[in-house]
Amino acid sequence: MREITYREALKEALIEEMKRDERVFLLGEDIADPFGSAYKVTLGLSSIFGTDRVIQTPISEQGFTGAAVGAALTGMRPVVEFMYIDFTTMAMEQLVNQAAKIRYMSGGQAKVPVVFRTQGGPGRSSAAQHAQSIEALFHHIPGLLVAMPSSAYDAKGLLKTAIRLDDPVIFIEQKLLYNTKGEVPEEEYTIPFGVADVKRNGTDCTVVATSMTVLKALKAADILAEEGISIEVVDPRTLFPLDIETIVESVKKTSRLLITHEAPERGGFAAEVAAQVANLAFDYLDAPIQRVCAPSVPIPFARNMEDYIMIDESKIADRVRKLIRGDI
């Protein structure tokens, strides 16, 4: 099977869906040529579809988010790009009080089929206002679906599904993933929301990881395998809807659970997974549930300090060793 980058997979998804459905259009800051968005996912699309379907917006997140919600209510299927996830905070009124609530408040009479693409996470010395991982904010809001693909295959399949759904989707891409490569079939496919993927089978400990930490967990698995420790890596792919069943079945097999993500530990998605597993599989646990997450501090600009707070394979491997030894 061919290998393409995460960036190329996203672009293919957009092209295919825009060709399939004329109601799909894009809007955001600097997304048209020649810039093609901050991470070049939309480069070339305005040349294919024109500037009436790849719409360059002013620097007003609240404005273009409101426009997208309105367009969705009238039957269009907009795909919005936020240059950085940090900037979604400028449009929380539209995201939280409008997009997420209208279908419920109308008794299902109105639908809001809009996708909000954005990227987050540390790793490029982007500092405190351009490198946050705030997916927990959106995961907390009823009415919003949240996707965090970790591979090119998942990125394409999930984005195509997101565009076809009738509910608003927060679609989060980690900035360091854009150049990663993976196998992506040329034929049509979609990935349903709410279906986790076991990225690696194991027997000694379940590691639930999201986005970039999936890659870190897989590297940790290689390190630990040389020591005779087998970990199972589960990628939820969507935070909501969450496939808790797959996670619970994995924990029943391994009897240990570690959850990792780049967001701060305090109030993070890991706490929700831990609570649900404790409720559904407590009797199967041989050790306390562990979290490997970022500390509750703003992202530093200095590269050495940013590296210090980032999640890496050594931090995951070290915590797994302690779980296995019973040192927790």
- Active-site choice (29, 61, 81, 306): 61
| Spatial separation of the C-alpha atoms in residues 251 and 246, rounded to whole Å | 9
Rounded to whole angstroms, the Cα distance separating 53 from 12 reads 16
- Measured distance CA(198)–CA(296) in Å, rounded: 29
272 catalytically annotated = no
Residue 30's CB is within 10 A of a number of other CB atoms, namely: 16
Q: Are 59 and 29 in contact (CB under 8 A)?
A: yes
Check the CA dihedral 233-180-68-26 and report its sign: negative
Neighbours of 58 (CB within 10 A): 8
Return the ∠ at Cα 218 (arms to 124 and 236), rounded to 5°: 85
Question: Cα(323)–Cα(260) distance, rounded to whole angstroms?
Answer: 14
Is 306 catalytic? The answer is no
Spell out the residues 6+ positions from residue 285 whose beta carbon is closer than 8 angstroms to its own: 251, 255, 256, 257, 277, 278
Choice among 29, 130, 135, 139 that is catalytic: 130
CB-CB contact of 274 with 257 (8 Å): yes
Q: So which residues are the catalytic ones?
A: 61, 130
